[in-house]
Structure 1
Amino acid sequence: MTQGKDFEIFLATAPGLEPVLCAEVRGKGFKQTKPVPGGVVFKGGWPEVWRANLWIRGAGRVLARIDAFRVLHLAQLDGRARRVPWGSVLRPDIPFRVEASCTGSRIYHSGAAAERIETAIRETLGAPQAPEAEIVVMARIEHDVCTISLDTSGELLHKRGHKEAVNRAPMRETMASLFLQQCGYDGSEPMLDPMCGSGTFVIEAAEIAARLNPGRSRHFAFEQLATFDADAWQRMRAVKSARVPAARCYGSDRDAGAIAMSRANAERAGVTGHTEFRHCAISDILPPAGPPGLVIVNPPYGTRIGDRATLFPLYRALGQVLRQRFAGWRVGIVTGEPALAQATALPFLPPGAPVPHGGLRVTLFRTAPLA
């Protein structure tokens, strides 16, 4: 890989959400994007890597694919790894670590593969290897082809850098943003989460409405690579994209502690002026004044919080309130239990495939505007 030359950039997401992420990436102007299992790929250079980390809401991490070659045994991997131009991407003074995986290949021992690549980098570049290093070299050996990537993000991208308080079973910001996008939310309409917990949906929606970059508050691993240009990065970050939203984002919860948490998180994210949180039960929710918009909610589901059988009345009550008071609004409900979603008696569109979330599989159930 040489400076200035385009390479493949991979954005990771939960299986099942690749088309939604692909639509977001295309919408942000990235070229030659296509969904692949577990994420989206497109072509670009290092500025595109930085921009993807800064701009893209739905990606869990951004990998730069720096080399790929065929290998049949460990000695061959050792020799080939020494020919990778490590000095063009890694710094000799910054610690690194290697993570390897092997699938359907003659090299089947991932630990031995990682060791060979570590040794090759240490002996050709002189960089120290450290088990806790932020710089991660990822080697995937699949059907005898070894793909070498760099994790340019560091901490997973759902860690926006401005959320401290979380409640039980929180949804990752990256997944929340993709569910919002799947519901057609673009920031031009009001949005309400009547079980807002720590405020994830509300804050993500408010950031979309205010056009705030999701990565604006945090550090990224690529800042420690040999390819990093601090001045160019500062110029990129300084571009002001923010706008005053056309509508506010609302959250409510029956737990007063959740409301306090949401308000604190919204303040850290800089969206207090665009959000409103209210302590109330489902039976007391009302549509805010103005045009209809989107209700999106991640209620408890049996295997997550509480016992499944006791949740049917909650879902029935939610459905009844939405049907009676929210004419013209669209609804999105995320649940791991289709039977609970059906208990709302809402007119759902055909659902997409379930997606993994916290060891479970959840489905987004959506409606058209309610009659």
Structure 2
Amino acid sequence: MSDDPFDIFVVATPGLEAPLAAELRALGWEPETQPGGLTIRGTWRDVWRANLMLRGATRILARIGSFRALHLAQLDKRARKFPWAQVLRPDLPVRVEATCRASRIYHAGAARQRIERALREELGAEITSDAAMVVKVRIEDDLVTISLDTTGESLHKRGHKEAVAKAPMRETMAAMFLREMGYDGSQPVLDPMCGSGTFVIEAAEMAAGMAPGRSRRFAFEQLASFERAEWDGMRKAVKPQLPAPRFFGSDRDAGAVRMSIANAERAGVAGCIRFEQCQIGDLERPDCPPGIVVVNPPYGARIGNKGPLYGLHAAMGEMFRDRFRGWRIGIVTSDAGLAKATGLAWQAPGPIVAHGGLKIRLWQTGPL
């Protein structure tokens, strides 16, 4: 395995680049923000560690090389000379995705075919449309950049969450919203509409120092550059410690509570989270120091008529003011009117974040 550094592109959820950059810096990298994510320099070990440890990234792309090509014949020639065998195995199928922008080679389909032919004839790899290994080719300003998707399934799929609620919050987004609220693992966290438990499970894992990718497999395990013993050592070097039980999830739906408990058990954090079935109006302040309340309430796009939601948000705001003095409140919503209906003293809302076709934002208060 080569120790020569290369560019590693960390794909971000649009709108959550800043907390992901902070997470990368906390893990020792120096990220550079670019459209769609952040770039770091590193080796294959950094690729493995990024997949294993990053909570806010969507996927990790290894930029394995680039060359200039002004026409298809030149692309064909240079693709055939590319050192594919250093990273790809000939015995495993490959899928190629290509994009062209502001280049003399403008036909992405034709470009893809040239790369596929080089892989088939020079490496001996089979090309299939459903291959787990994806080669991404971007041609921009006549520069051909070749990347490998080292992740496989999106990183929000931690590998231990089987049950999900309607309109679930992705784990990657939940972790970054917690980070935006200043969560560092030491504060109590409560979600009074916990759904499948994502916010409190992420918070408990962060406090425990768990590796988010500990329970799953990755595409990079199929690369020629992969070293199993070193990877196993990297995973075993992460030594989590369960925190005190200071995480609280509740939901009016008994099925959601059962789902959350099952997900927390699979994640290994059930011992430090208390889940209960509870209407939000009956919520009691936990017996612990003030911390963070974070909630992803219904915001109309999911359930149709918004009228009752204004009353729900007003009652929720009143309950927080009455019972949660000293706590900080965070609400994720697509509707500024619903946030304002709480009557809480909001700070400037966070950036717009794309979530399932909706544009949502985090609204947060200072300590009540």
TM-score calculated relative to the size of structure 2: 0.97
Q: Do structure 1's residue 6 and structure 2's residue 5 form an aligned pair?
A: yes
Residue 67 of structure 2 corresponds to residue 65 of structure 1: no
The equivalent residue for 1:257 is: 255
Q: 1:146 to 1:304 in 2, by over 3 A?
A: farther
2:239 to 238, 241, 245: 241
Do the aligned partners of residues 247 and 276 (structure 1) sit closer, same or farther apart at CA in structure 2, a change above 3 Å counting? closer
State the partner residue of 1:114. Answer: 112
Q: What CA deviation, in whole Å up to 9, does each residue of 1:54-106 have, x standing for no partner?
A: 00000000000011222222222212212221000000111110011222323
Q: Name 1:349's counterpart in structure 2.
A: 347
Identity between Structure 1 and Structure 2 (%): 59
Post-superposition shift, 1:246? 4.4
C-alpha deviation, 1:311, in angstroms: 1.1
Matching residue of 2:148 = 150
Match of 1:33 in 2: 31
Note if contact 1:187-1:247 (Cα within 8 Å) is conserved in structure 2. no
Contact 1:189 1:247 in 2 (8 A): no
Quote the Cα distance in structure 2 between the aligned partners of 1:333 and 1:218.
30
Aligned to 1:83: 81
CA distance in 1, matches of 2:104, 2:308: 51
Partners in 1 of 2:141 and 2:316 — Cα distance? 49
Does 2:285 match 1:284? no
Q: CA deviation at 1:314?
A: 1.1
Cα gap change, 1:176 to 1:201, in 2 (>3 Å): same
Amino acid at match of 1:89: V
Q: What is the match of residue 314 of structure 1?
A: 312
In structure 2, the CA distance between the partners of 1:240 and 1:66, relative to structure 1 (3 Å rule), is closer
Which residue number corresponds to residue 18 of structure 1? 17
Following the alignment from structure 2 to structure 1, what is the Cα–Cα distance between the partners of residues 191 and 352? 21
The answer to which of 65-74 and 223-232 deviates more is 65-74
Residue matched to 1:368? 366
1:295 aligns with 2:293: yes
**Is contact 1:187-1:209 (8 Å) kept?**
yes
Question: Aligned AA for 1:216?
Answer: R
Report if aligned partners of 1:18, 1:36 keep a CA contact under 8 Å in 2.
no
CA RMSD after TM alignment: 1.2
Aligned residues of 1:169 and 1:305 also touching (Cα < 8 A): no
Partner of 1:212: 210
Q: Which residue of 2 aligns with 1:124?
A: 122
2:338 is aligned with what amino acid? L
The match for 2:265 is 267
Amino acid of the residue matched to residue 242 of structure 2? V
Structure 2 SS opposite 1:69:
strand
User: What residue ranges of structure 1 are gaps of 5+ in the alignment?
Assistant: none
Q: Between Structure 1 and Structure 2, how many residues are aligned?
A: 368
Structure 2 CA distance for aligned equivalents of residues 203 and 225 of structure 1: 32
Q: Do 2:244 and 2:272's aligned partners in 1 also have CA atoms closer than 8 Å?
A: no
What's the CA shift for 1:319? 0.8
The whole-number CA distance in structure 2 between the counterparts of 1:150 and 1:182 is: 30
Deviation of 1:132 (Å): 0.8
Moved more, 354-363 or 136-145: 136-145
Matching residue's letter, 2:251 = D
Cα distance change on mapping 1:308 and 1:109 into 2, 3 Å: farther
CA distance in 2, matches of 1:34, 1:241: 29
CA contact (8 A) 1:188 1:246 kept: no
| Contact kept? 1:98, 1:136, Cα under 8 Å | yes
Partners of 2:144 and 2:103 in 1: how far apart? Answer: 10
1:189 and 1:246 in contact (8 A); partners too: no
1:104 aligns with one of 102, 105, 114 = 102
Secondary structure (helix, strand or coil) at the match of 2:159 reads coil
